[in-house]
Structure 1
Amino acid sequence: MSKIRKVIKFHCNGKSNLFISKYLSLSRNTVKKYISLFKVSGYRLDYIAEKTDAELEAIFVGNTAEQVNPKLEKLYSFFPQMERQLKSVGATVQQQWELYFAANPDGVRSSQFRVHFKNWSNRVNPVMHIQHKSGDKMYVDYAGKKLSIVDENTGEIKEVEFFVAILGASQYTYGEGSMSQQKEDFVNSVENAMRYFGGTPAAIVPDNLKSAVIKSSRFEPTINETLADLAEHYETTILPARVYKPRDKSLVEGAVKILYRRIYVHLKNRTFFNLEQLNEAIWELLDLHNRKKLTGRPYSRYELFLEDEKDKLRPLPLERFQIKYHSFATVMQNGHVLNSQDKNYYSVPYQYIRKKVKLLYTQSVVEVYYKYNRIAIHQRSNKAYVYTTNAEHLASTHQFVADWSATRFIDWANSIDPCVGEFIIKIIENRNHPEQAFKSCLGVLTFEKKVGRIRLINACKRALDFKIYNFKTIQNILENNLDSIDEDKDLNQDLPEHQNIRGKNYYE
C-alpha cells in the first residue's frame, strides 16, 4: 500500500509515469492503473494520505473498476461457457474470441481477451492450468491419509487405502476403499472407476507407484505388465506422470484435497466392519460431491460429465478384465507342464516335450506359450495334483494308454472268449484300484498274437481252475505247455507192475 501512496504523490508532483515506474520498480501498466483509479475516485492527495492500508486496498485492489465496467461483466460472463467449449477436440481460444467479438463488437480485442481469460481461470481454479479434452484422460492416485475398518471378530483395526480417479474435462470423480496398493487391488480399482464412468478414456494417467510403473523414465517408463494387459483389454493406453512433476497430476491431487473435506470428515467418527460397508458410505458422499456446483460456474461435475464427456468415452467391453499371472515350466516326458501355484498338470502337444514354455493363467483359464505362440489352452482346475489332458496333444502310443479303462479290457477279452473275459474280470476285482490291473490285463490279452487264440483260451480255463488271477499264471501255463494237457485223461490211473516197484511192506 505504501507504493500506491508514493505513485499518487509522485503523480501529483508532476512526475512522469516512466519515472514513477523505474523509481518504484513497478510496471508502467500498474502505474497507469493506480493513477486512473485515483482520477476516477475524485479523491485529493491529503484524503488518500489519511486512508488506512485496508481502505486503500478496497479502493485500488478490490477490482471495483471491473465490477462497475459493463464491458468486463459481459466478458467474464462469457468465460464459463467458453471453458466448456475448449474441452471439445479442435476448439481454440481464437475461435471463442471470434464468437465473442461477433456478439460484442465493442468488446476487448484478442490479446486482452486472452489475458482476462487467464486471470479468470487462475482465480476460479488456481491449480488447473491444462486444458483437458473430453474423453481424453483419466487421472488416478491414492490419498495420503488412510481410512480404516474394524474386524468384527477380533476388534483389530485395519488400515484401508483410498483410491481416487477423476476425468480431466468434467472433473467427474470416483473413489473407493482398497485393502492395499498391490497391483491386483490397483488394477481392480482402475477397472471399477471405468465401470463407474460408463466408458473408457483415451489414456489413464497414474502416479509412478510400483503397481503401475516398474521402472520410471523421462522418455519411456516400463509399465507393469498387468496394468498393460488391462489397457489392452479396454483399448486404452497408460501415460505415467513424470517424476517430480506434480502439475502432471495436479487435477487428481486437487480432487484428493477436496475429498478430504467432503468425505473424510463425515467418515472419521463412523465404524465400518468390512470394505463393502465403507465403500457404500463413500459412494453416497461421492454422489453429493459430484452434484455440487463447481466454484464460479453454474453447473456441477455430474452435469458437465453428462453433457460434454460421457459420449466422448469409448464403449466398455462386455467382459471384465481378469488378471493374468505367469510362470515358466519345462514340458515333462509325459507331455504335461506343472502350474506350480496350483500343483496341477496340463497337457501340451507332444512335439514340445522337454521344451521350456510360459504359462499365462487367470482365475478360469490356463494358456501355454512357446516362443510367443500359444500351443495349448485349458480350463483351470482348482484341485491339486490333477492331470488335465487333451487327447489330441498325446503321441499315438500315449493316446492308447490314455484310453485304458476296465470296460475296454473286459470288452476286448469277451471278444476272444467268455472265459478270457471272466479271467480279466477276476484280475481287476483282485486289485485295490482298477488301474493297477491294466498292465496285467494288457499282458494277458497280447498273448493272443503270440500263441494264438485257442492256447490263450485254454490257459485262461486252467488258470480259473487254479484260482490264481495274474499275468504270471498265464505266462507259466503257456511256457510249460500246461494248456495242451487233455483234461479228460485219468490222472489217477494205476501204475504198471514191475520189479523196481517197492511194496507197502518195504516201509514197515
Structure 2
Amino acid sequence: MSSVSYRDVLRHRASGLSLQKTADACGCARSTVQDIVQLAKKRDVGWKDVEDLTDAEAYELVRGKPEQVELYAPIDYKKIYDEMTRDRTMKMTILWEEYVIEAVESDKRPYQYSRFCEKYHVWCDANDIAVIRRYIAADIGEFDWAGKKLTICNPDAGELADVPVFVACLPYSQYVFVRAYPDMTMESWLQAAADSFAFFGGCPRIVVIDNLRTGVTKHTSEEIVLNRTFREFAEHYNVAVIPHAPRRPRGKNSVESSVDKFANKIRLELRKQRFFDIDELNEAVAAKAAELNAKPFQKRASSRAEVFLEREKPCLQPLPERPWERAIWSPKVKVGKNYHVLCAADKVLYSVPHRFVGKEVEVRTTPHAVEVYCEGERIAIHARQRTHMPEDGPITNPEHRAKHHADYLDHDSEWYRHEAAKTGPATTKVIEGFLSEGLAEEQGWGWCEKLLKQRASHSSAAIESACEKALSILANPSYKAISTLIKNTAKSTELDDPAGGNPWAIRRY
C-alpha cells in the first residue's frame, strides 16, 4: 500500500485546497496528488465515498491505472512579473485570461487559474522574488512561537522560570491570539493550536507553521512528511497543516509581524510585574492582547477585532462537535520477546497480545489511555498509568500472555490447593505432600503442575483413585508412583470394558 494517505488527499481536495498545498499537507509530491485525483475522478470516487474507510480501503477503492497527463501550455513567468511590477493595479485574472487565449491558439491545454497562480508563486520563491499576497477571509492561519519568553516566579523556591509564548494570526483581519505555555513540546503546540481555534470560534482552511522538529518528520525540496499526530490533528479540525522550509521560512509575514507588534509589546509592558503561576500570567496577556486587537489601524479605518467579527469570523469553518483530545503517536517500534512496548511519555511498558512479537507497532498516547496499533488496527488499549514507576514493573493484561506464561505466573501454592480440592481429598493430601517436601513450597510446584495436568487425558476419578492407592502404600508417594498407578488404572478399565460401556457392542476374544 502507498505511504500517502488517499483519504487525506481526497479530504483536502474536497475542502478546496490546490494540488500543491494538498501535497504539502500530505507529505508527498504534487504529481502524486495529481495522479490520485485523476484516478479517483476516473472511478467516480470522492471524499464522501472514503470518509468512513481506512487508508487501506480507500487505496483499494481508488487504485487503478493512471491516465496519461496532457501537455500544458508553458507559462512566461518573466512576462507576468514585468506586468505586475510595471502596473501595481494589474490583476492576475487578466494575465491568466491572456495566457488561456495564447494556449488555445497554440492547441495546448492551459492551466487552471489556481494552478497558474501557484506555479507563478513557486517561480518567484525560486528566484527570490517577493510576491504581493492578497489574503482571503478565513483562508489561512499563521502559527508560531515567539522568540522572547515571558517569566513567572516560583514563590517557594524564589526562582524565575521562562515560559514560551504562542502566537496565532489570521492574516486577512490581522486578528491575533497570544498565550503562554509551559514548554514547546508537540503536546503544548497542539493544545495551543486547539486553544487558538476556540478563541477564534472556528478554523481557517490552512494552517501555516514553522518547520517544527516535533511535528515534521522530513522536509526536503521533494517532499514534506508530517508525523502521525499532526495528521490526526489536521483531520480532526479539517485543516491543512503546511510547514515552511527550514532555516529560511517564508510566507508567515503576518505572524512574524504579530510577534513583533503583540508578543514583544506585551512582554515589555508586563516586564515590571511579577506572576506566580502561568494562569495568572495568561490573564494579563489576554487583557493586553484584547486591547491591541481593539486598537484602531494606523492607516485605515476600524480595528483588527472589528474586521474579524464583521468579515472573517462568519467565514471560518465550524469547530468539531467533539473536543480535541490530545494524542501523541510514537515512531514505529518492534515488539520485543516479552510482548511489551514502551510508552515514551511515561517510561512505562504496556503489554500487547503475544502473537504480535516481532511486529512493528505504533503507540498512541492520550491523557487517559495508551493504545497500540499494528498496520492501522488497534491491538491493545490500557488505562494510562501516569503515577506508575518503571521499577514497579510493566502493565500487563493477563489475556495478552501466552498460555504457558500465564500458567507459570498465575499458578501458585493456593491455586494448586484449590484445584486439588476439586478432584478429591486424596489428591489434596498428595498435593500437600509435594508442597511440604522441600524447604520452600515453590520446590514442589513442578510436581503439582504435572499431577494436575493429568486431568487433560484422564478423569478426576482415575486420578483420585490412584492417589488413594498410593497413600495406602506410602505416606508421601512420589509423582512417578502416582503416574504409574494412573496409567495402570486406565489400562485395566479398558480391558474390563473394551466396548466403552456399550452392552450391545460385539465382543471378540
TM range, normalised to the smaller chain? 0.5 to 0.7
Letter in 2 for 1:457: E
**Residue 416 (structure 1) aligned with residue 426 (structure 2):** no
- Residue 231 of structure 1 deviates from its aligned partner by 1.9
Tell me the residue number matched to 1:148.
Answer: 151
Stretch of structure 1 that moved more, 341-350 or 159-168: 341-350
For residue 164 of structure 2, give the secondary structure of its aligned residue in structure 1.
Answer: strand
**Residue 299 (structure 1) aligned with residue 307 (structure 2):** no
Find 1:286's aligned residue among 286, 289, 294: 289
Tell me the residue number matched to 1:505.
Answer: none
Tell me the residue number matched to 2:365.
Answer: 361
- Residue 237 of structure 1 deviates from its aligned partner by 1.1
Letter in 2 for 1:366: V
Tell me the residue number matched to 1:389.
Answer: 397
Tell me the residue number matched to 1:193.
Answer: 196
Tell me the residue number matched to 2:450.
Answer: 443
- 1:148–1:158 contact (8 Å) kept in structure 2: yes
Tell me the residue number matched to 2:275.
Answer: 272
Give CA deviations for 1:148-194 in whole Å, capped at 9, x if unaligned. 22232333322222221111222221111234434333333222212
Tell me the residue number matched to 1:456.
Answer: 467
Tell me the residue number matched to 1:208.
Answer: 211
Tell me the residue number matched to 1:133.
Answer: 136
- 1:409–1:424 contact (8 Å) kept in structure 2: yes
- Residue 422 of structure 1 deviates from its aligned partner by 5.7
CA–CA separation in structure 2 for the residues paired with 1:412 and 1:239: 63
CA–CA separation in structure 1 for the residues paired with 2:319 and 2:206: 14
CA–CA separation in structure 1 for the residues paired with 2:181 and 2:146: 11
- Residue 340 of structure 1 deviates from its aligned partner by 6.4
Letter in 2 for 1:445: L
- 1:419–1:461 contact (8 Å) kept in structure 2: no
- Residue 204 of structure 1 deviates from its aligned partner by 0.8
For residue 330 of structure 2, give the secondary structure of its aligned residue in structure 1.
Answer: strand
- 1:327–1:339 contact (8 Å) kept in structure 2: no
For residue 270 of structure 1, give the secondary structure of its aligned residue in structure 2.
Answer: coil
- Residue 245 of structure 1 deviates from its aligned partner by 6.9
- 1:147–1:177 contact (8 Å) kept in structure 2: yes
Tell me the residue number matched to 2:168.
Answer: 165
Give CA deviations for 1:30-86 in whole Å, capped at 9, x if unaligned. xxxxxxxxxxxxxxxxxxxxxxxxxxxxxxxxxxxxxxxxxxxxxxxxxxxxxxxxx
- 1:368–1:374 contact (8 Å) kept in structure 2: yes
CA–CA separation in structure 1 for the residues paired with 2:169 and 2:435: 68
Stretch of structure 1 that moved more, 316-325 or 139-148: 316-325
Q: Cα RMSD over matched residues?
A: 4.1
Indicate how the Cα distance of structure 1 residues 168 and 406 shifts in structure 2: closer, same or farther if over 3 A, else same: farther
Stretch of structure 1 that moved more, 267-276 or 358-367: 358-367
Find 2:330's aligned residue among 310, 315, 326: 326
- 2:325–2:366 contact (8 Å) kept in structure 1: no
CA–CA separation in structure 1 for the residues paired with 2:207 and 2:189: 13
Letter in 2 for 1:454: S
Indicate how the Cα distance of structure 1 residues 475 and 406 shifts in structure 2: closer, same or farther if over 3 A, else same: closer
CA–CA separation in structure 2 for the residues paired with 1:173 and 1:315: 18
**Residue 223 (structure 1) aligned with residue 226 (structure 2):** yes
Letter in 2 for 1:140: F
CA–CA separation in structure 1 for the residues paired with 2:440 and 2:291: 67
Tell me the residue number matched to 2:57.
Answer: none
- 1:134–1:169 contact (8 Å) kept in structure 2: yes
- Residue 268 of structure 1 deviates from its aligned partner by 0.9
- Residue 267 of structure 1 deviates from its aligned partner by 0.2
Size of the aligned set, in residue pairs, is: 348
CA–CA separation in structure 2 for the residues paired with 1:196 and 1:300: 17
Identity %, equivalent residues = 28
Letter in 2 for 1:265: L
Give CA deviations for 1:334-376 in whole Å, capped at 9, x if unaligned. 6x223264342412252x3344444443443333344455443
- 1:169–1:309 contact (8 Å) kept in structure 2: yes
Give CA deviations for 1:418-465 in whole Å, capped at 9, x if unaligned. 3434664787799999988764433233456677431213446888x6
CA–CA separation in structure 1 for the residues paired with 2:438 and 2:135: 75
Instruction: Give the structure-1-normalised TM-score.
Output: 0.57
Tell me the residue number matched to 1:313.
Answer: 316
Unaligned runs of 5+ in 1: 1-91, 94-126, 467-472, 482-508
Letter in 1 for 2:149: K
- Residue 270 of structure 1 deviates from its aligned partner by 0.6
For residue 388 of structure 1, give the secondary structure of its aligned residue in structure 2.
Answer: coil
Indicate how the Cα distance of structure 1 residues 360 and 435 shifts in structure 2: closer, same or farther if over 3 A, else same: farther
Find 2:341's aligned residue among 338, 350, 365: 338
- Residue 282 of structure 1 deviates from its aligned partner by 0.4
- Residue 133 of structure 1 deviates from its aligned partner by 1.7
- 1:242–1:248 contact (8 Å) kept in structure 2: no
CA–CA separation in structure 1 for the residues paired with 2:435 and 2:282: 60
Instruction: Give the structure-2-normalised TM-score.
Output: 0.57
Stretch of structure 1 that moved more, 324-333 or 142-151: 324-333
Tell me the residue number matched to 2:105.
Answer: none
